[in-house]
Amino acid sequence: MPTPAKSHGRLNIEATRKPRALLQDTPDLAGAWKAKVLTLYPDMFPGILGHSLTGRALNEGLWGLEPIDIRMFARGKHRNVDDTPAGGGAGMVLRADVVGRAIDFADKGHSRADWPVVYLSPRGKPFTQAMARRFSEARGITLLCGRFEGVDERVLEARQVEEVSLGDFVLTGGEIAAQALIDATVRLLPKVLGNAESTEEESFSAGLLEHPQYTRPAEWEGRTIPDVLTSGHHGKVAAWRQEQSETITKARRPDLWEAYLKDKS
């Protein structure tokens, strides 16, 4: 039997290393937001999330991560996790029984009301900042990463799994999408960024794209920084940024601009 993947983050109790883990509830961190990730590739985690701000926050126990190997829930002589698609066609489909057991394992210890279960899928609702905010307000999240042709539809229906897409393109697996979703969610948790203001002013937070940013040197390749930003006049800086945000949003994302206008009226 393959060993379950190890947990990450200082507050994690290493109970999942033991075979007993299958018989008991996964211990949750002392109040910290946690992501349980159902994947065939637990070694892909924490991946990018182990670096920079999310990595530091993980080490400090501000959030927790528990990759769960879907293969642990395979049974029978061959321990198959996938099979050929009913009706024919290319590729393989993850089995409903195996994925169902994995979801039931991850579900233990909390209710769906404050612990959403999400399948990363190109057919899902497009991931947005508002979703990241909602997920960050839950106690944690369970993410199912597909591979091959995806997952048997019956388990998605029976376990009422929410489908979320990273965008209109097809990845080879859900792991990169899961890491992107976790990254966007974790940076909204208290204390992860340090400077809470930075999540209030950035793109999407007020329904607009962010204004341009500048830093030193004051002149680069003959290009200077807009005078207003070095004027020291906070009111004028704020007005300039608002105007830039509106101009950029109008030009690049007419859909966001329409929604912004509707929201304001």
Given the rule CB under 6 A, which residues bind ligand SAH?
120-123, 145-147, 149-150, 165-167, 169-171, 173-174, 177
135 burial level (CB within 10 Å; 0-12, 13-18, 19+): buried
Residue closer to ligand SAH (CB basis): 31 or 89:
89
Give least dist CB 131 to ligand SAH, A: 13
Answer yes or no: are the C-beta atoms of 8 and 51 closer than 8 Å.
Answer: no
Give least dist CB 118 to ligand SAH, A: 10
Residue closer to ligand SAH (CB basis): 28 or 69:
69
Residue nearest to ligand SAH (CB): 146
User: 196: which DSSP letter?
Assistant: T
Residue closer to ligand SAH (CB basis): 27 or 85:
85
Q: Tokens 């999407």 map to which residue?
A: 204
How many C-beta atoms lie closer than 10 Å to residue 137's C-beta? 12
User: What are the DSSP calls for 125-174, one per residue?
Assistant: EEP-HHHHHHHHHSSEEEEEEPBTT-B-HHHHHHTTPEEEESSSS--SBS
Give least dist CB 83 to ligand SAH, A: 15
Residue closer to ligand SAH (CB basis): 169 or 234:
169
